Structure 1
Amino acid sequence: MVEANSGNRRGYDNRGRAEQARRTRARIVDATRDQLLAQGYRATTMAGVARAAGVSTETVYKAFGTKSALVKATYDVALVGDDEPVPLAARPQMRALLADPDPASKLRRYAAVARTLADRIGPLSSVLLAGARGGGDPDLEALAATIDEERLRGATALVTHLAATGGLRAGLDADQARDTVWTLISPDVHRLLVADRGWSPDDYERWLADTLVAALIA
């Protein structure tokens, strides 16, 4: 009986430590996002994040390893809205898109997802991309390239799915279709229309949906 109770207690302690570690990571990620938005990439430091999160600098390094890894983790959490280990393609909105039999409806669902993601990461993307364009930081430039590559993979997956389900317009080159989607969902396009030109998020979503339909299936 004592051994069984000890085992239960160890299991409880392990779960408690795991939850504490998760909360600590979340505080660090939140602090990183706030620092990036307030002062940019270069002025954001591991020590500054640690102070803002109320942890030691060593804790930040142990949890994330490098500044670029910390910033990428912060971006990923902002992108999907939580820290659950569930890829975007497996989220309910994307599963509904894949199951929808109507190509135009698929693209309108895709525009809704793209709008949600852009709303979440728009300001953070602007900070990171502006820093990368300034040059002089190979880690940041590599991070920006990774983010672009992930967007390209997402665009490729959409076009591949449309082609496989008969939704892509006949005669349309798949590579050009992919590049069109990749461009339309760029954070730069979202920034230009919403932040610079004053479009509402609803306006952006409608425009994106209509443009995707016209470009890919109409």
Structure 2
Amino acid sequence: MTTGWAVREDHDRADAERYRELLAAARSAFEELGYGATTIAEVTRRAGASRATFYVYFASKEQVFAVLAEQVRDRFTRAQDLTGIDADDVDAVLRRTIETTLEVTVEHMALMAVLNHQAVADPEIRDLWVEIQREAVHRTATYVAQQARAGRVHPVADPESLGLMGAGMNDRYAPLVVNGTIEIDAAVEEMHRIWMACLGR
């Protein structure tokens, strides 16, 4: 029985590794070639896998792209997780979430560009991408509103508008970080200073 479980676990690990390899190959292809020019053949070539293997894990190119988009959503959700930090320490919360969300934007900038482009033509991708963006802004706005009600901050604008501002700063600073115009620590500091001013701190 023990041997049987060990063999099953080895298979599970191998399956998980192949799944990750296919996702990584698909992501690199989408980022380099764009959605339209990426083919299943190109993904399997990069992954060193057969077409049949691809179909064990994904039904189509559309599905693997949707999985990658969902990974972006999950990364943004984790970036705004306040576990281990005092949620009422506004300065610490903003400094941490500014840094983590900017890191996610930098890490996924190329894929997000493909998502933006594909969302124009694909209603399902558009709905998912709108959801990803709306969730991140809404979580920020909810936090600002809660802290405003508690009297810890005095927003100069509607919380939802400030959430949009934060997302916009991420989008503008990320390319500057990628091309070396500014270090990420300096970008975080500038964004934090702007946020503090906008929250009357």
State the TM bucket, normalised to the shorter chain. 0.7 to 0.9
Q: Which moved more, 1:143-152 or 1:51-60?
A: 143-152
CA distance in 2, matches of 1:80, 1:74: 10
With over 3 angstroms needed to count, the CA separation of the structure-2 counterparts of 1:146 and 1:19, relative to structure 1, is same
Q: Match of 2:125?
A: 143
- 1:168-188 CA-to-partner distances (Å, cap 9, x unmatched) read 426743333333333333x3x
CA distance in 2, matches of 1:212, 1:92: 16
Whether 2:137 is the aligned partner of 1:155: answer: yes
Q: Is the 8 A contact 1:103 1:217 kept in 2?
A: no
Q: Is the 8 A contact 1:29 1:74 kept in 2?
A: yes
Equivalent position amino acid for 1:114 in 2? T
Normalised by the length of structure 1, the TM-score is 0.74
Whether 2:189 is the aligned partner of 1:201: answer: no
Counterpart of 2:43 (choices 27, 37, 49) is 49
Counterpart of 2:112 (choices 125, 128, 131) is 125
CA distance in 1, matches of 2:198, 2:155: 12
In the TM superposition, structure 1's runs of 4+ consecutive aligned residues that sit over 6 Å from their partners are 78-81
CA distance in 2, matches of 1:125, 1:171: 30
Q: Match of 1:88?
A: 77
- 1:150-193 CA-to-partner distances (Å, cap 9, x unmatched) read 132122112213333434426743333333333333x3x23554
CA distance in 1, matches of 2:144, 2:84: 14
CA distance in 2, matches of 1:107, 1:124: 25
Q: Match of 1:211?
A: 194
Q: Is the 8 A contact 1:79 1:117 kept in 2?
A: no
With over 3 angstroms needed to count, the CA separation of the structure-2 counterparts of 1:210 and 1:152, relative to structure 1, is farther
Q: Is the 8 A contact 1:80 1:88 kept in 2?
A: yes
Paired-residue identity, %: 17
Equivalent position amino acid for 2:134 in 1? L
RMSD: 3.1
Aligned length: 198
Ranges in structure 2 where 5+ consecutive residues have no aligned partner: none
Q: Match of 2:28?
A: 34
Normalised by the length of structure 2, the TM-score is 0.79
CA distance in 1, matches of 2:116, 2:156: 35
CA distance in 2, matches of 1:163, 1:53: 46
